[in-house]
Amino acid sequence: MIKENLDRIQQELTGTNARLVAVTKTHPVEVLQAAYDAGARIFGENRVQEMAAKQPALPADVEWHLIGHLQTNKVKYIAPFVHTIQSIDSLKLLLEIEKQAAKADRVIEGLLQFQIADEETKTGLSLPEAEEILRSAEFQALRHVRLTGVMGVATNTPDQDQLRREFRQLRGYFDKLKSLYFAEEPTFREVSMGMSSDYGLALREGSTLIRVGSAIFGSR
């Protein structure tokens, strides 16, 4: 089932600039290995402890993405291996990632997470907050964190028009930040949006990273 689902989703990505993040939270290492064997190379986890426990058991070329809320005191556990932190929502977190990445002698990629959903439980930056970070001297001094784009979690709704508005809002944030702050940086190119229920719509609105769990692994 995993291979068939992965093949189907990869087929849908053909002709787009998008890549698949297989959301592996709560699934055991054996399931991740099956996904790897079927071709998945980017794994997304929500929890630091779970990611840190699974990472040594999987092949070294897995690209690990932290997609859940990240507390500053937990950065040190994933800094030696995490590829991308998709949920950067404060300057304080950026500075801690810089500190821990420097200790590990690495550069960690990151996405700025924006609040686009009409739900209190979803978190993220506003556009003014993000611009304040990007204009700060502290951000300009970073050497071990590379921002490569934006991320957002849309409202959990079947309303296609609302989802489209939220995806377009995030894409608009990306376009503005790209033109004002990253025009000379080709690595700033990611728009992470779309999950199992809405990734088709997100792809049409310009997503470059879709975060898909249940459409690959089935319901938990």
Mean pLDDT of 104-121: 94
Q: Which of 192, 194, 195, 196 is nearest to 208 (CA)?
A: 192
Burial class, 126, CB count within 10 angstroms (exposed 0-12 / middle 13-18 / buried 19+): exposed
Judge whether residue 9 has pLDDT over 80.
yes
Closest CA to 182 of 147, 136, 142: 147
DSSP state of 125: B
Residue located via tokens 């990869």? 10
Higher per-residue confidence, 123 vs 78:
78
Q: What is the pLDDT of residue 220?
A: 66
pLDDT of residue 25: 95
Cβ-based burial of 80 (10 A; exposed 0-12, middle 13-18, buried ≥19) = middle
- Of 131, 121, 10, which Cα lies nearest the Cα of 68? 121
Q: How many residues does the chain have?
A: 220
Per-residue pLDDT, 151: 98
Domains in the chain, start-ordered, CATH in brackets? Answer: 2-215 (3.20.20.10)
Contact of 45 with 84, CB cutoff 8 Å:
no
For the residues 157-185, what does the mean pLDDT come to?
A: 97
Averaged over 210-217, what is the pLDDT? 97
Average predicted confidence (pLDDT) for the chain: 97
Distances (CA, A) of 41 to 8, 70, 79, 178, 207: 16, 22, 19, 27, 18
Predicted confidence (pLDDT) per residue in 152-170, tens digit:
999 999 999 999 999 999 9
Query: Is this prediction's pTM over 0.95?
Result: yes
Q: How far is CA 158 from CA 119, 122, 164, in A?
A: 14, 17, 11
Residue predicted with more confidence, 120 or 216: 216
Inter-helix orientation angle 127-135/160-181, to 10°: 20
Mean pLDDT of 35-60: 98
Task: Tell me the C-alpha distance between 199 and 196, whole Å.
Answer: 6
